[in-house]
Amino acid sequence: MNVLQKVQIYCDVDGVINIPPSPHTGNGYDSGALLTIKQNMGYGQTEDIEVEIRWRSFVIDFFREANADFHWLTSWDQNAVDVLDPLLQLNSKGFIPWSKKFSDFSQSFKGRAIEQLQQANPTPFIWIDDIATGNYKRLSFGKRKDILVIQTDPEIGIADEDMTQMAAFIKTNS
């Protein structure tokens, strides 16, 4: 018997959920908040910084209601869990640590983190990012049929078409 596993969603913050105000794109954010987060300054030092975040409510509603496990894959690190989860009322599975020392042109540093997770337990997944998805096909999972990679326009974030694709993917792979 082939038991389907829950789809995993690996999601960035800036340029995906957090979208800048833009009179040119009409990106449609309808919610926002001013947050204080801890920024890693290196050498074990952190500093509190204020960040404004804006999002489209129906995108967050989708993540709350999706038959999928949601993971943060973002430079926000633990702030995503400590600050964004309560604010957005998401019950994420935490953040995926990734090495920021990779600075090659393939932008695959986050992809390598997914690759490590998927090697241990391959599951269907959705990866949403505004820039880091570049050259993902060079990674070990790049040719699999049970993945959906969405590269957002950072001025718009997750678009309506992306939502339609994600819903269909989750339905097919759950």
CA–CA separation, 132 and 152 (whole Å): 10
pTM comes to: 0.85
In the numeric block, which tokens belong to residue 27? 């990106």
The per-residue pLDDT for 2 is: 43
SS3 35: strand
Is the pLDDT at 48 greater than 50, yes or no?
Answer: yes
Mean pLDDT, all residues of the chain:
83
Is the pLDDT at 156 greater than 90, yes or no?
Answer: no
CA–CA separation, 116 and 153 (whole Å): 26
Nearest Cα residue to 141 out of 163, 124, 162, 128: 124
- For residues 141 and 172, the model is more confident at 172
Domains of the chain by start residue, with CATH: 7-28+55-173 (3.40.50)
For 102-153, what is each residue's pLDDT tens digit? 554 445 678 878 888 888 888 999 999 988 776 666 676 767 889 999 999 8
Kindly tell me the sign of the dihedral angle through the C-alpha atoms of 68, 148, 72, 159. Answer: negative
In the numeric block, which tokens belong to residue 117? 């997770």
CA–CA separation, 162 and 66 (whole Å): 14
Share of the chain above pLDDT 70, in %: 82
